[in-house]
Amino acid sequence: MGLILDTSILIESERRGEGVEDILRRIRAAHGEIDVALSTVSVVELTHGIYRAKTDADRTRRRVFAEGVFHDLIVHPMTLEIAQLAGRVEGEQAAQGITIDFEDLVIGVTALHLGFDVATINMKHFQHIPGLNVVTI
């Protein structure tokens, strides 16, 4: 059992001035001792945020936060199996007229592949991934 953190959790925490330790403390208070990890998509999204910062201070704060996250959490790569699962889920949902943002799709199927839940602020972003358990922290 474990949790893949959606980037929304990380962005909210960074904006509140929290560090990785604060995030982990909240997760453990709500869910006990479980594995906590990221999808590579969150690495892309956090890095993107660094480079689109409007001020040097924001850029530095975001970089320090991201480096802490990347150092302290496992980052699960996009594997062939995860890519195939993403293609299947996206194809099945598209056949029903349902669109899932690619970033959320990859984060969600990474969790699904690992047997993990996804922790997010944006519950509706993940509701169309069959079999995925979505939680808040």
Q: For the domain that residue 129 is a member of, what is the CATH number?
A: 3.40.50.1010
- Residue 125, pLDDT score: 87
Instruction: Give the structural domain span for 11.
Output: 2-135
DSSP category for residue 125:
G
Structural domains in the chain (count): 1
Tokens of 46: 């956090």
Tell me the per-residue pLDDT of 82-124, one tens digit each, with 9 for 90 and over.
Answer: 999 999 999 999 999 999 999 999 999 999 999 999 999 999 9
Task: Say if pTM beats, i.e. exceeds, 0.95.
Answer: no
Tokens of 119: 């922790």
The label of the residue with tokens 């997010």 reads 120
Mean pLDDT, the chain, integer: 96
- Residue 26, pLDDT score: 93
Distance CA 35, CA 136 (A): 15
Q: Would you call 119 helix, strand, or coil by DSSP?
A: strand
